[in-house]
Amino acid sequence: MQSRWLSLLLSFALASSAAAQDKPPILDCTKPEGADAKTVAESQRVWAKHLGEKSHEKTLPLDRAGKVTVEVVLIPPGKYFRGEGKSATLITLTQPLWVGKYEVTQHQYAVIMGADPSHFARPDKDAAFYPVECVSHVDALKFSDNASANTGGEFRLLSEAEWEYAYRAGTRTKFHNGNSDDRLGDIAQFAGNNRKSTEKIGSKAPNAFGLFDMSGNVWEWCVDYWTPAYDMRTTTDPMGPDAGQGCVTRGGSWASAIENCRSFNRGRDAETYGGSHLGFRIAWTSASRRTQPAPLDCSEPNGADARVVISAQKAWAKYLRETSYEKAFPLDKAGKVTVDMVLLPPGTYYRGDEKKPTLITLTQPLWVGKYEVTQKQYEAVMGVNPSHFKKAGAAAAFYPVEKLSHLDAVKFCKMASENTGAEFRLLWEAEWEYAYRAGTRTRFYNGNANEKVLEIAHCTENNFVRTMKVGTKAPNAFGLFDMGGNVSEWCADAWEKDFVETRTIDPRGPAKGSIFVNRGNAWDSYARTCNATARVLSAETYAGCQIGLRLARVAAKK
């Protein structure tokens, strides 16, 4: 699975004026002596011309008003040896990339994020010249997302493979200015000449690409999760593993020893950690040249684990220009009542009985209600609360609406859509089962044992009295609650005797009929039936105190 990283692997289409031209050769840094500075500069010049740029350096806005900017340098595609000694691996990067000339500054960060978290915070007049620090990996990603949303571009962190290539700038030595420890002070603020605090960006010599402070000053976050060894699934445009223990940092800092400032040295920290040694550098490409993430692959014998599932959600949220894969959307015209939803990435999974499963592919991302629709939400849209287990006042926001016919559920979706201009609807059965499974291939999303269902569902064995508050049982890996039990959920599919679904890509059952499918079963159902595959058929006019709904919202592309 490469869903998290393929979202970050950006495809640079050529300008129309250059479309007919052959691409320049990539920069070859694999010779024993690497590529000299003249060759590196010429490659930058040629690739800038090929892309229709006047120069291999330019300045880009970070905010909507264009008051704060970032200087970037074009890094051409190339091949180089990553790592050191006999373990060095030939890496090929096929796409050009614009990379920040300097580490992100306190001024840039404060404008985009609203505050400067730095321990070594500088006065306003100096904040534009010192790197921001005390920034976590989560913070760095959010900065990139905000800058992207502000400008319509695509800002991001570098992958570890990109970072080392950018650092080396054609060289094959310990540092980008040679192998001598005595010369590190020419290019880096580190323990040997500092050990006090960060210093001004760009106060040491740049590398051949024109990048400053690739060694020292602050460690720089990479996008990759950290694992003890490099992820070796591919050596062409590698983007790291889908999960790991913390995230990668590179380059060393003002407090680092010599060995931490080497071109091939790898560091790591928890993605939530922020310290006065940690900052970052950003990369950029045009939004129109973004590459769509890969779908979530749940077809392996063990499915996809929770970390991979969440990685896919994050990647698709980023691609859709959302700051998170969880979001609240308004339902009423005034926007006073909202629905919490989570993003389901496109994916492949096996639907149906484990003895005769069918491989299904869903090609579109979809927002899905985190909880079953509540009595408060339904009444805010429809003006009435039909529930048999009716709650009054504040409690109505926590209990699922029920005693709804399929006609009622469809009308609710239509009214919410008209109120907001969005497209709300019921899930198709194939979407519902994918949402329930959340990467798993077991009978229930928490395993195969019937007794385990009590952890995720209100059902006969632990209830058999009434509906209960939404979200009081364990969610699945997508972050969805009550997919089994509490109330059964209407789907969009009609039931038709002898109907055979031949589509395996975005399959749909009949859209019209007098009998419709509901899924997940309810508080009055046996635990064993609250599974991924059980189907219940009810007349479209039937309304029982065991049937409600869950909303889907079509994801708008940005």
What confidence score (pLDDT) does residue 381 get?
A: 98
Q: Is the pLDDT of residue 125 over 90?
A: yes
Q: Cα(96)–Cα(116) distance, rounded to whole angstroms?
A: 31
pLDDT of residue 286: 67
Q: What is the pLDDT of residues 57-97, one digit of tens each?
A: 999 999 999 999 999 999 999 999 999 888 899 999 999 99
What pLDDT is stored for residue 241 in this prediction?
A: 80
Domains 20-289 and 313-554 share a fold: yes
Classified by CATH at the fold level, domain 20-289 comes out as: paralog of FGE (formylglycine-generating enzyme) (3.90.1580)
Q: Would you list the domain boundaries of the chain? A: 20-289, 313-554
Mean pLDDT of 448-457: 96
What separation, in Å, do the N-terminal and C-terminal C-alpha atoms of the chain show?
25
Cα angle for residues 395, 470, 308 (degrees, 5° grid): 145
Give the start-end residues of each E strand in 385-430.
Answer: 424-425
What is the structure's pLDDT at 395? 97
The torsion of the CA quartet 43, 45, 47, 51, rounded to 10 degrees, works out to 180
pLDDT at 5 over 70: no
| pLDDT tens digits for range 368-395 | 999 999 999 999 999 999 999 999 999 9
Give the DSSP per-residue string, 212-237: --SSBSSEEEEEEEP-SS---S-SBS
CATH class of 313-554: alpha beta
Residue 9 makes CB contacts below 8 A (sequence gap 6+) with 95, 237, 239, 291
Residues 299-328: what's their mean pLDDT?
Answer: 90
Give ∠ CA 431-416-518 in degrees, rounded to 5. 35
- The amino acid sitting at 184 is L
Asked if residue 17 has pLDDT above 70, the reply is no
Structure tokens at 374: 């509540």
* Model confidence pLDDT, tens digit, residues 330-346: 999 999 999 999 999 99
pLDDT at 116 over 90: yes
Q: What is the pLDDT of residue 404?
A: 97
pLDDT at 8 over 50: no
Distances in Å between the Cα of 394 and the Cα atoms of 333, 376, 409, 548 are 20, 8, 23, 19
